[in-house]
Structure formats: C-alpha cells, structure tokens
C-alpha cells in the first residue's frame, strides 16, 4: 500500500511527536525506515507526483508544472499529457490488480486493471466522470466523497479548515470501502489536506499564532491524518508493506518576488498600456445591475469570454511580444525565451543570442538582493539541459528559477513593487519531503534514508517481484529492507526495454468550463 500525503513536512511532524502528539506517525517511524525524499525542480505537485509514479524525470514524462505552455498561452495539464508509463500501467499489464485514488494528474481517469479515482480534479461540476469504471462514482457519492475542497469553501482569504477535515474523512471512508470490497495487489491513495492548510495557515504557527483561534488548524489536519493512518495500517494487516511519502516539504514565506516586473526593469519584457481591471470590473457590475433580467446572461457570457482571452494583468494579451525577450508564464519559476521560429512573435535568434539572453538573466538574478535585508533572493537558475533529459526535455522551460527558501515567485506584469510581503499565502513548498516505509520487509528504527522522488516506482516494482525498466532514473531503496528479508536477499532485476517506452493515452482533455474552473482554483492557490 502506498499513502501519499501532499506537502507533509518533517519539521512539523517531529515537533508534534516530541510534544506527545501524532502517536501513529511515532509508531511507524520507530518501527520502520524513514528519512528525507528530494522532490523535483520545481518542487510542485504535478511533476513531483508524476515522477514518483513513473520513476523518471520530467524530461521523460513531459509534466513540468501545473500548466502546458503553448505559444503565449497556458492550459492546465491532464493525464493525457503524461508520456511515460505509470506504475499502475506497468503492473496492470502483468495481471496485477491496482487501485489508484486521488493521485494528481490522473484526470481523465485511465482504463486500469482495477479502479481509478482521478485526483486534482478540482471542479465544482459533480457530473464529471472522474472514476474508472464509471459505476464506482455512484458508490463514492453514496459515501459523500468529494474530489477537492470547493473554491467557495473559504474564511476570508483562507480555506475553511472544516472542509479540509471533512474532505479527509470522506476520502478515508472511500478508501476503506474500496479496500474491503475490491481485490487489489497495489493500493495507492493521496491525501491533499496538509498542502492546502499549510499554504494559508502557516502564519499562525509563527507570528503571534499563540493567541489566534487558528493556531491549531494545521495540527488538527495532521492529527486527523494520524488517525487515518492508524485505521488503514490496522485494516491492511501486518503482512502488508506500506510506503508513505510526500511530494515535497513546506516552509514559511517571507516575500513575494515579481519576476516579470524585474524583466520589465532590465528591458527584457515590455507590457502594453496598464488597464485598471478593478475599476473596469466594478463599472461592468454596476451597469449589469440596472439591466433587465433577460439581458444579464448575455453580459455574463461576454465577461467569461473576455476573461478566457485576458485573465488579469499577467495575461499574455497584456505583453508587447515584439519588444519582449523573456517572461515568466506562471508562478513556478519556468522562464520562456521569446524565440524566433518557436513563439508566434518571437524576436530572439536561436542558439547564440538565446544563450546570451539566458546567461544575462542568470547573472542578473543571482546578484539580486532583498532591499530590506540584503539577503539573496534567488538560490539558483538552471538551464533546461542542466536538469532535464529525455525525449520531452525540449518541452521544459528555457530557464528554471529557484528562489531562496522564503521567497515566492509571482508572474504579474504590472505593478511597481519588486518584492513585498506575501498576501493570501503564508507558506510554500520546500524540496525535501518525507519518506516512511513500514511493514514486514522494512528495517525497524532506520532514520537515515536519503531518497529521490523517482525512487518510489523502482522500489515498489522490486517489492512486488517485478523487474525495473532500464530507462527509469530512480533506484530501488535497498538500504530500507530488513536484513535477511526476501526483498533484501533477492537481487534487483533490470529489464532492457527496446523500442517505444512511452504510453499511449486516450486524448480527452478538459472542457472549456473545466479549464476555467481549474485555473480559478490554481489562481487562488497562488500559481497564476
């Protein structure tokens, strides 16, 4: 069994264990193998989970962030963009039964040898077909299963913690239902609540949090998950090997850094005339209120259509591309050079000029300092070829900007500030996630694991007596196996894969409404 905990952070877990809390985490750590798990670059949900369940880097599986950059536009990734074979596809082809619940980037659901409940669906449209087989959805809806916290479930600028706890409880009930009623050889489930709650409530762990009614909100989510783990470990029994891991860690934010504003300042990006979107929106709303009811739907349709073309001040429609050399398309550090022959209005010549632009950006960003503290803002800037390899590496960013811990990249074009204190969000991802393995084949009290996120799939394959395809970037975590166990004694088998190692997914992407709803969710989480 594999249990993913989105954004789980060791510093919080260890601190609460030292206070006598989280007894199940404590038991699993003391009786299992645990340590750090290094995420992808950038350490964000889509590339991290896909890397975990394919065993390869984004250059081989084709998922680099929440969005696919196409020309000057972006669209939300979906399962049909994943080009490498997944663990459930590999094992399913061998006749093993798999159940996959809530893993990000699995919508539309795939036809697996078992059950799939899509993850990172995030829509308010409950009619969405998010399960395979289709009838599984009816069983989940009788339980009250929800795919994700709705956008409306907010208290001020933060997600309502009660909704997060409710979501966790319903996911647990769904998992127990599937465990008890359907055969499985590999069961995978991801719980998303820690990621959501930490983004919004971390501030109450630090700045005056002791006097806040929200001071224990994050703890309450971890305690709920601790109870879930207790139930699931008991249910699957002592003969089951369990791997628990997170796609990344978490930590507090100090500042937002507006990278496109910096590009504008150094002459690499030229915005069009600034528009006052707030005033315009207010005028439209006031005008609409005076219209007869029969005309209001026409105005709403018009607003929706215009928003899809120009979504706020960071949208492609607000940039003068004939005078722009580089830009940040979304808030994940992926910088694109406006390359001639690749972008619709590209102006940078390939090869030499492109390298000159990239080198100048790297040099400039690495010298940046916070005006208030003198601290460096950027930790590293990577060229695509330095971190990605494989058939799809060319779809990666021209540059990947990694901010220092505590700084969050924003992609807004307009505005006068280069850095400012964060608004809605108070924490963001860190590269080091958690790894925890418990069961008959794992060591006891082994706390020095140093794993890469691509090691998850090779390790699962070995545990299930399957060979590891030689194209995988990860390795089998043999150091976690108990001495004398069958897993430790049996040599790792590697399988040479000839020809096409890519999967062939049925293309059935998001509808326009689904796309807009997903973008709204990601916007509120700070990724747009």
Is the per-residue pLDDT at 401 higher than 60?
A: yes
Q: Locate 184 and state its tokens.
A: 């499985």
Is the per-residue pLDDT at 313 higher than 60?
A: no
The pLDDT tens digits for 53-81 are 999 999 999 999 999 988 898 888 999 99
The pLDDT tens digits for 164-221 are 999 999 999 999 999 999 999 999 999 999 999 999 899 888 765 667 888 899 999 9
Predicted local distance difference test score (pLDDT) of residue 289: 58
Residue with the two structure tokens 């020309």: 71
CATH 1.10.3470 for the 255-274+314-421 domain, yes or no: no
- The phi and psi torsions of 114 (rounded to 5 degrees) equal 155, -125
Let me know: does 42 contact 330? Beta carbons within 8 Å.
Answer: no
The pLDDT tens digits for 76-104 are 899 999 999 999 999 999 999 999 999 99
Secondary structure (DSSP) of 461-484? HHHTT-PEETT-S----GGGBPTT
Is the per-residue pLDDT at 489 higher than 70?
A: yes
Q: Which residue has the higher pLDDT, 416 or 202?
A: 202
Let me know: does 53 contact 33? Beta carbons within 8 Å.
Answer: no
Is the per-residue pLDDT at 486 higher than 80?
A: yes
Is the per-residue pLDDT at 431 higher than 70?
A: yes
Under 8 Å CB-to-CB from 238, ≥6 apart: which residues? 439, 440
Q: Give the alpha-carbon dihedral of 233, 4, 456, 92, to 10 degrees.
A: 80
Predicted local distance difference test score (pLDDT) of residue 300: 46
What confidence category does residue 330 fall into, taking pLDDT thresholds of 50, 70 and 90?
A: confident
Count the neighbouring beta carbons within 10 Å of the beta carbon of residue 201: 25
Q: Which residue has the higher pLDDT, 124 or 153?
A: 153
Residue 42: HSE in the Cβ half-sphere, 13 Å Cα cutoff: 29
Predicted local distance difference test score (pLDDT) of residue 187: 98
C-alpha closest to that of 157 among 424, 410, 421, 408 = 424
Tell me how far apart the alpha carbons of residues 164 and 155 are, in angstroms, rounded to a whole number: 12
Is the per-residue pLDDT at 287 higher than 70?
A: no
Q: Where in the chain is the domain with CATH 3.30.1360?
A: 255-274+314-421
Q: Where in the chain is the domain with CATH 3.40.720.10?
A: 2-251+428-524
For 315-372, give the secondary structure using H, E and C.
CHHHECHHHCCEEECCCCCEEEECEECCECCCCECCCHHHHHHHHHHHHHHHCCECCC
Is the per-residue pLDDT at 280 higher than 50?
A: no
Predicted local distance difference test score (pLDDT) of residue 62: 97
Predicted local distance difference test score (pLDDT) of residue 318: 85
pTM to 2 decimals?
0.88
Is the per-residue pLDDT at 154 higher than 70?
A: no
Is the per-residue pLDDT at 118 higher than 80?
A: yes
Q: Which of 36-50, 145-159, 311-325 has the lowest mean pLDDT?
A: 145-159
Residue with the two structure tokens 């040099």: 363
Q: In Å, how far from its chain's centre is CA 153?
A: 20
Predicted local distance difference test score (pLDDT) of residue 278: 45
Q: In Å, how far from its chain's centre is CA 268?
A: 29
Predicted local distance difference test score (pLDDT) of residue 301: 46
Mean pLDDT of the chain: 87
Partnered with residue 326 across adjacent β-strands are: 337
Secondary structure (DSSP) of 260-273? HHHHHHTTS--B--
Q: Give, for 34, the enclosing helix (H) or strand (E).
A: strand 33-38
Predicted local distance difference test score (pLDDT) of residue 238: 94
Count the neighbouring beta carbons within 10 Å of the beta carbon of residue 523: 16
Is the per-residue pLDDT at 311 higher than 90?
A: no
Predicted local distance difference test score (pLDDT) of residue 524: 59
CATH 3.40.720.10 for the 2-251+428-524 domain, yes or no: yes
What confidence category does residue 519 fall into, taking pLDDT thresholds of 50, 70 and 90?
A: low
The fraction of the chain above a pLDDT of 70, given in percent, is: 82
> What's the whole-number mean pLDDT along residues 282-292?
56
The fraction of the chain above a pLDDT of 90, given in percent, is: 71
> What's the whole-number mean pLDDT along residues 32-45?
97
> What's the whole-number mean pLDDT along residues 93-118?
96
* Greatest distance between any 2 Cα atoms in the chain: 79
Predicted local distance difference test score (pLDDT) of residue 73: 87
């Amino acid at each position: 069994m594999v249990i993913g905990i989105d954004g789980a952070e060791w510093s919080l877990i260890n601190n609460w264990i030292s206070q006598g809390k989280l007894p199940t985490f404590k038991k699993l750590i003391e009786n299992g193998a645990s340590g750090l798990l290094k995420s992808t670059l950038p350490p964000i949900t889509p590339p991290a989970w896909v890397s975990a369940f394919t065993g390869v880097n984004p250059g081989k599986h084709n998922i680099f962030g929440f969005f696919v950059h196409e020309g000057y536009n972006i669209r939300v990734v979906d399962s049909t963009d994943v080009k490498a074979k997944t663990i459930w596809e590999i094992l399913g082809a061998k006749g093993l039964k798999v159940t996959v619940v809530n893993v990000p980037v699995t919508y539309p659901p795939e036809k697996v040898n078992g059950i799939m409940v899509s993850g990172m669906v995030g829509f308010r449209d409950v009619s969405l077909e998010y399960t395979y087989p289709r009838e599984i959805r009816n069983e989940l809806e009788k339980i009250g299963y929800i795919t994700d916290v709705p956008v409306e479930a907010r208290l001020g600028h933060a997600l309502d913690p009660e909704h997060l706890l409710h979501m966790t409880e319903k996911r647990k009930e769904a998992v127990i239902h599937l465990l008890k009623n359907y055969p499985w050889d590999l069961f995978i489930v991801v719980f998303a609540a820690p990621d959501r709650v930490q983004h919004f409530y971390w501030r109450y762990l630090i700045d005056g949090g002791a006097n806040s009614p929200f001071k224990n909100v994050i703890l309450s989510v971890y305690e709920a998950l601790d109870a879930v783990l207790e139930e699931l470990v008991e249910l699957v029994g002592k003969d089951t090997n369990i791997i628990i891991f997170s796609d990344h860690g978490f930590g507090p934010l100090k500042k937002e850094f507006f990278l496109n504003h910096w590009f504008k300042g150094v002459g690499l990006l030229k915005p069009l005339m600034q528009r006052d979107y707030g005033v315009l929106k207010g005028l439209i709303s006031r005008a609409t209120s005076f219209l007869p009811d029969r005309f209001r739907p026409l105005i709403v349709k018009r607003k929706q259509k215009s928003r899809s073309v120009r979504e706020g001040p960071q949208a492609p429609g607000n940039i003068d591309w004939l005078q722009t050399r580089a830009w940040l398309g979304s808030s994940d550090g992926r910088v694109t050079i406006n390359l001639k022959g690749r972008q619709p209005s590209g102006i940078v010549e390939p090869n030499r000029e492109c390298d000159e632009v990239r080198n100048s950006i790297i040099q400039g960003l690495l010298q940046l300092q916070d005006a208030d503290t003198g601290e460096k803002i950027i930790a590293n800037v990577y060229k695509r070829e330095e971190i990605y390899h494989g058939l799809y590496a060319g779809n990666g960013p021209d540059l990947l900007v990694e901010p220092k811990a505590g700084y969050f990249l924003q992609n807004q074009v307009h505005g006068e500030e280069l850095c400012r204190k964060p608004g809605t969000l108070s924490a963001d991802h860190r590269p080091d996630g958690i790894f925890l393995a418990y069961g008959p084949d794992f060591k006891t009290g082994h706390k020095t694991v140093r794993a890469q996120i691509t090691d998850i799939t090779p390790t699962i394959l070995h545990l299930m007596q399957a060979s590891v395809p030689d194209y995988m970037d990860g390795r089998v975590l043999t150091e976690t196996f108990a001495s004398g166990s069958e897993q430790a004694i049996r040599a790792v088998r590697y399988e040479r894969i000839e020809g096409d190692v890519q999967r062939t997914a049925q293309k059935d992407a998001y509808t326009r409404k689904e796309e807009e709803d997903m973008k709204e969710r990601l916007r509120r989480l700070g990724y747009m």
